Amino acid sequence: MKAVAAVACGAALLAVLAGIFLANPAEEQLVVPDADSSMAEDDSKAQEPEPILLYVDVGGAVRAPGVYQLPEGARVQDALEAAGGLMDDAVLSSLNRASLVVDGQKVYVPRADDMQVASQPSEAGGGPSPSSSAALISINSATMTDLDALPGVGPATAQAIVDHRDENGPFSKLEDLMLVDGIGEKKFAKLKDQVCL
């Protein structure tokens, strides 16, 4: 009986030792995948592309004009903030702050003074100058009403211009107006800066 008990105890001891031995390799195997996954994470970090930087020149009514680096996808508002923000006299009506910036772009914020200077020429002259192309009247396409508005041209002369044009075709040069009855050199001198072909 004692021999059987001793054999049974020995067998139990061997079973416990075998269990411990077999358990350790399993634990080591669980650690290996964690090490591999951390290495894979390191590899993926190393392969991430560096962010693309855009260079934007910001000027005008900002606190710190200059050239700034912005990440790809930045907007004009980001460029303004990079330049320290807007001055009190900034005019934003011509600026789209939500638009994306592009590399090498110039972002200029006009000042209130800039806007006044741009509008002064027309205000100082009391309206468009007679020689401006917007105010010129085409002698080849103007209606009688348009022609009648010219200085020194009344309804009769306007009708004569239209009749001459209908009979002889379009005028080839401004001086041809003097071929119209009622328009001499003096009247033409008044008209020539207000008409075009």
Query: Is 139's pLDDT higher than 90?
Result: no
- d(CA 162, CA 159) in angstroms, rounded, equals 5
Query: Is 183's pLDDT higher than 90?
Result: no
Sequence-separated (6 or more) residues with CB below 8 Å from residue 164: 179, 180, 181
- d(CA 173, CA 196) in angstroms, rounded, equals 9
pLDDT digits (tens, 9 = 90+) for 18-74: 555 555 554 444 455 555 555 656 665 667 778 899 999 998 899 999 999 999 999
Of residues 113 and 7, more confidently modeled: 113
Query: Is 185's pLDDT higher than 50?
Result: yes
Q: What is the pLDDT of residue 76?
A: 92
Query: Is 124's pLDDT higher than 50?
Result: no
Provide the whole-model pTM.
Answer: 0.39
Q: CATH for 53-114?
A: 3.10.20.600
- d(CA 4, CA 161) in angstroms, rounded, equals 141
Q: What is the pLDDT of residue 150?
A: 81
- d(CA 16, CA 63) in angstroms, rounded, equals 78
Q: What is the pLDDT of residue 64?
A: 95
Q: 170: pLDDT confidence band, cut at 50, 70 and 90?
A: confident
Q: 16: pLDDT confidence band, cut at 50, 70 and 90?
A: low
Neighbours of 91 (CB within 10 A): 17
Sequence-separated (6 or more) residues with CB below 8 Å from residue 50: none
Q: CATH for 137-196?
A: 1.10.150.320
Sequence spans of domains, the chain: 1-48, 53-114, 137-196
Average pLDDT over residues 164-186: 82
Q: What is the pLDDT of residue 127?
A: 44
User: Average model confidence (pLDDT) for the chain?
Assistant: 75
